[in-house]
Amino acid sequence: MVVTIGKTIDESKQGSAFESIKNKDSEKKFYIESYGCAMNFNDSEIVASILFDIGFGSTQFIEEANLILVNTCSVRDKAEQTIRNRLIHFKKLKSKNKESLVVIMGCMAERLKDQLLEEEKLVDIVIGPDAYRSLPQLIAEAQSGHRSVNVLLSREETYGDINPVRLDGNGVSSFVSIMRGCNNMCSFCVVPFTRGRERSRDAATIVREAKDLFDNGYREVTLLGQNVDSYLWQNDDGTKRVSFAQLLEMVALIHPKFRVRFSTSHPKDITDDVLQVMAKYDNICKYIHLPLQSGSSRILQMMNRTYTKEWYLHKVNRIREIIPNCSISTDIITGFCSETEEDHLETLDVIEKCRYDLAYMFEYSERPGTLAARRYPDDVPSEIKNRRLSEIIALQRQIGFELNQKEVGKVYEVLVEGPSKKNKEEYCGRADNNKMVIFPRENSSKCDFVKVKITECTSGTLKGVIV
């Protein structure tokens, strides 16, 4: 996902913060692009708020910008190469506007700080995910001719007191970060090294931010964390503790017409308490993203996922026992170190048994500095990775189509997000189960809840009519 500020801001939802964006008297302008996960997108909203406070306005025209920011992702090599190409492009632009500064932020900044600053001289400022409060000082240093950097990780920073400026643009749904970092040392993953250890945000600030969204017309919130189920906030003296299940209930109680989603769950941490809260409240969406990564217990052990194939299948069965209509999506990595054809068949078997509504499927991409890079050779040939990925995608596409066919004839409450990309006379929105639904707009408006009867489908989309 790539988001560019200026093209994505909904003027009607921003209040005083948006007025600062529109401030035509502001001589300082910033332009920002975000790559990668929803957490990065939310971080860009925090950075925008910090910049507004020091007098910057925003622009959608990069040539006007005094400050060019790139919020980066290091999960896969392809993402890093895309960002590097953008930085090269920005360096060319700087030759025409020598006073402009290029800022790289996020996970790639944390991982490649020295190389980007010294070897390639592509950027003026490098700032890590826990250091955004220092951005004003770093800008001042860079303006005086010094390349500046702050990539220190924190055990306390949650940005809980900063009110993010909403950049999502649809005014219907948005994200609220509930925690930062990750304690799970999955051997393939760079997140613990680029975002640090887990720390949970004060529950009261989360509820306040979510309520502010509802009061400003938003009708859906997604609670974000690298591993939301391990959320646990307690006050300084330990007399008050809030678990994720309790937080989920607190947000659901804001209003019955305020939908609540969350992402991402780790299979080992999602508890019956969370599932029971989901089942209790109609406005908590019956959808869980539950990463599998591999169906082979041997590979899972090498990945340090801390569960087996059988344990994962039991967890999926437990979810459907407590929430029978729950949709489940997943992440799958194929071609991990030493993966055999038997391991691959185990993954296909889990896909068959779980029958995911949606899956994000990737070839293994070795990330420098991870445990896997240090311990295991990346020894599965590219052509085998490609073939296995194609088989996984084909199976999942078939299952997705079969599941969507079963939706035909059902009626869903859909939250209207706006016009369909292909036909402005049609609206689109998501059902409770996270499936996208397209329907004739009739008299509906954005942010409405409408009842839609499903009449046809593709492997990824439902189509219907308002009833």
Q: What is the DSSP string of 248-311?
A: HHHHHTT-TTSEEEEE---TTT--HHHHHHHHH-TTB-SEEE---B-S-HHHHHHTT-S--HHH
Note the Cα 380 to chain centre separation in Å: 29
Lowest-confidence region among 190-199, 207-216, 289-298, 313-322: 190-199
Provide DSSP, 39-57: HHHHHHHHHHHHHHHTT-E
| 112 burial level (CB within 10 Å; 0-12, 13-18, 19+) | buried
Q: Which CATH architecture has domain 2-150?
A: 3-Layer(aba) Sandwich (3.40)
Q: Give the CATH architecture of domain 411-466.
A: Beta Barrel (2.40)
Answer with the residue of higher pLDDT: 97 or 158: 158
161: DSSP letter: T
Domain ranges of the chain: 2-150, 173-405, 411-466
Question: Confidence band (pLDDT; 50, 70, 90) for 292?
Answer: very high
- Give the mean pLDDT of the chain: 90
Tell me which of 11-20, 297-306, 388-397 is least confident: 11-20
Answer for the pair 362, 76: CB distance below 8 angstroms, yes or no. Answer: yes
* Residue 93: pLDDT over 90: no
The fold of 173-405 is: pyruvate-formate lyase- activating enzyme (3.80.30)
Lookup result for tokens 């760079």: 190
Query: Which class for 232: exposed (0-12), middle (13-18), buried (19 or more C-beta within 10 A)?
Result: middle
With beta carbons less than 8 A apart as the criterion, state whether 432 and 286 touch: yes
Question: From CA 133, how far away is CA 406, in angstroms rounded?
Answer: 50
Question: What average pLDDT does range 368-382 have in this prediction?
Answer: 95
Give percent above pLDDT 70 in the chain.
93
Backbone angles phi, psi at 68, to 5 degrees: -110, 115
d(CA 424, CA 421): 7
Residues 6+ apart with CB under 8 A from 444: 416, 427, 450, 466
> How many Å apart are CA 62 and CA 200, to the nearest integer?
36
Query: Which pTM does this prediction carry?
Result: 0.88
pLDDT at 124 > cutoff 70: yes
Strands 57-58 vs 148-150: parallel, antiparallel or unpaired: unpaired
- Which pLDDT band holds residue 12 (cuts at 50, 70, 90)? very low
Residue 169 has pLDDT above 80, yes or no: no
Q: Which residues contact 367 (CB under 8 A, 6 or more apart)?
A: 74, 75, 76, 77, 188, 189, 190, 373
What local confidence, expressed as pLDDT, does residue 82 receive? 86
- The 10 Å Cβ neighbour count of residue 61 is 9
